Amino acid sequence: MTYLGAHLSSAGGFYKMGQAAVGIDANTFAFFCRNPRGSKAKAVDPEDLQKLRELLAAEGFGPVVAHAPYIMNPCSKDEGIRALAAEMMAGDLRLMEHLPGNYYNFHPGSHVGQGTEAGCRMIADMLNAVLQPDQQTVVLLETMAGKGSEIGGRFEELRQILDMVALPEKVGVCMDTCHVSDAGYDVRDHLDDVLEEFDRVIGLERLKACHINDSMNPLGARKDRHAPIGEGTLGLEGIVRFITHPRLRHLPFILETPHDTPGHGKEIALLRQTIGER
């Protein structure tokens, strides 16, 4: 069965979030380790996380993909903001050790005028400061739409970061279908070519998870506005081609479309029906 899920709220506890995932026929999901707006870490409740871990194993879940706070910017001009990014990631990764063998995805950040080179260097510096050789979580760089001074709109930029990381086996990539399309990679009509390019530049073995979002904007728009599945430029067909592609179909696919959890449940049902899984 394809690993399909959505971004869920951990506000009511981690085990509850797992139950919510089961309730919408998901077998993977994404979540924030802390309040998404603030930087404050939650007190870790090992029992709650243990219960989630058992639930995921019992229900045959694929890997889950935690998401770093949106306010994290590891390549900010401001040293304090960079330090905060490292602190948040380190804290989230400590929590993730209670859910071993999963992923933690983050936006590489915006270099705000410092240039791509300097930005990539700062992102790698943070990873080198935070990653531990014995950690059981693989951290994922997300492909971005390339709006403003955002890093990660080009596969080459992600490759630059990966090349500077001291623990390469602890870092992979998460591909977001809305973002790559907005960045100019035609995953709707030329998916084979895009994957070929990804493989050449980064290596497909580094691709560990995908966000499946339709896009409100045309190819190359550099906007990053997610649309519900089937209501954007990728279309239901484009998304289905993506999740059934032989080089991708084993990966966890996470919806981040503008819906609440019941709406995501409907999208999962639609996708499972379309690919003949229900």
By CB under 5 A, name the binding residues for Zn ion: 224
Is the CB of 53 or the CB of 179 nearer to Fe ion? Answer: 179
211 binds, among Fe ion, Zn ion, none (CB under 5 to 8 A by kind): Fe ion
Is the CB of 162 or the CB of 183 nearer to Zn ion? Answer: 183
The 3-state secondary structure of the chain reads CCCEEEECCCCCCHHHHHHHHHHCCCCCCEEECECCCCCCECCCCHHHHHHHHHHHHHCCCCCCEEECCCCCCCCCCCHHHHHHHHHHHHHHHHHHCCCCCCEEEECCCECCCCCHHHHHHHHHHHHHHHCCCCCCCEEEEECCCCCCCECCCCHHHHHHHHHCCCCHHHEEEEEEHHHHHHCCCCCCCCHHHHHHHHHHHCCHHHEEEEEECEECCCCCCCCCCEECCCCCCCHHHHHHHHHCCCCCCCCCEEECCCCCHHHHHHHHHHHHHHCCCC
Pick the stretch among 42-50, 93-101, 140-148, 264-272 that binds Fe ion (CB under 5 A): 140-148
224 binds, among Fe ion, Zn ion, none (CB under 5 to 8 A by kind): Zn ion
**Cβ 224 to Zn ion shortest distance, Å:** 4
**Cβ 256 to Zn ion shortest distance, Å:** 7
**Cβ 113 to Fe ion shortest distance, Å:** 23
Is the CB of 150 or the CB of 224 nearer to Zn ion? Answer: 224
Is the CB of 61 or the CB of 242 nearer to Zn ion? Answer: 242
Is the CB of 20 or the CB of 174 nearer to Fe ion? Answer: 174
267 binds, among Fe ion, Zn ion, none (CB under 5 to 8 A by kind): none
**Cβ 176 to Fe ion shortest distance, Å:** 4
Is the CB of 53 or the CB of 211 nearer to Fe ion? Answer: 211
**Cβ 139 to Zn ion shortest distance, Å:** 18
**Cβ 12 to Fe ion shortest distance, Å:** 22
Q: Interface residues for Fe ion in 146-205 (CB under 5 A)?
A: 176
